[in-house]
Amino acid sequence: MTPAELMALYGSFTAEAIRLESRQYYEVPGDADRQRAYREGHPLPDRPAKTATVQIIRDAVAAGKTFGRVHIVDEPLSDYVRYELDAAYPENVAAGEQVWIVDRASHPDLVPVQRDFVLFDRGTDHASVVWYDYTPDGTLTGYTPGTPTDLAACTELLDLARTHALPLADYMTTRFRTSH
């Protein structure tokens, strides 16, 4: 699946797009300056790809759709996850994305989860799942459409993760601040 095909799905879903993230580091092109600014306590510089993502979220939410993500984190948190929680995700939340955080250790079935995906329009007759493919160092290599079996398994996994997750704001006040 090409990046354009994935973006077309993000542009055409009818009710819900929910991503599950399981990695503790992502090698994001063009993000080094933002991460450095965060570490140094400076305002985050603009990054065109981030601006585009925020606009996709705004457009979906303005159209009455749900846009969300669940990130399975390992505690203690990696520096990269701290950056995401404290700096990157709040921009998405401000645009209308619903972000939930779940500690991998909260349920045995979450422990082995190592592959990211996005579910589009789960529970509908046109639901689909797309896998995000990464190298071990966190570099995105592509996207793979899921099968009907994948769709069922990913729906179950997402529901499990959400059951144990906290909304970002709650995680930040109850877990993140105490894990520094």
pLDDT higher than threshold 60 for residue 179: no
Q: So what's the architecture of 3-179 in CATH?
A: 2-Layer Sandwich (3.30)
The answer to whether residue 129 scores a pLDDT higher than 50 is: yes
> Can you give the residue ranges of every domain in the chain?
3-179
SS (H, E, C) 58-127: HHHHHCCCEEEEEEEECCCCCHHHHHHHHHHHHHHHHHCCEEEEEEHHHCHHHCCCCCEEEEECCCCCCC
Mean pLDDT of 30-41: 92
HSE-CB for 176 with a 13 A CA cutoff: 21
pLDDT at position 176 is 65
Asked if 74 and 82 touch (Cβ cutoff 8 Å), the reply is: no
Evaluated on CA atoms 48, 53, 58, 63, the torsion sign reads: positive
Q: Tell me, what's the pLDDT at 180?
A: 46
In this predicted structure, what is the pLDDT of residue 177? 58
Please name the residues in contact with 145: beta carbons below 8 A apart, sequence gap of 6 or more. Answer: 1, 128, 129, 130, 131
State pLDDT tens for residues 158-174.
999 999 999 999 999 98
Quote the percentage of the chain above a pLDDT of 90.
Answer: 88
pLDDT over threshold 70, residue 138 = yes
Mean per-residue pLDDT for 72-101? 96
Residue 178: pLDDT band (50, 70, 90) is: low
Residue 49: what residue type?
A: A
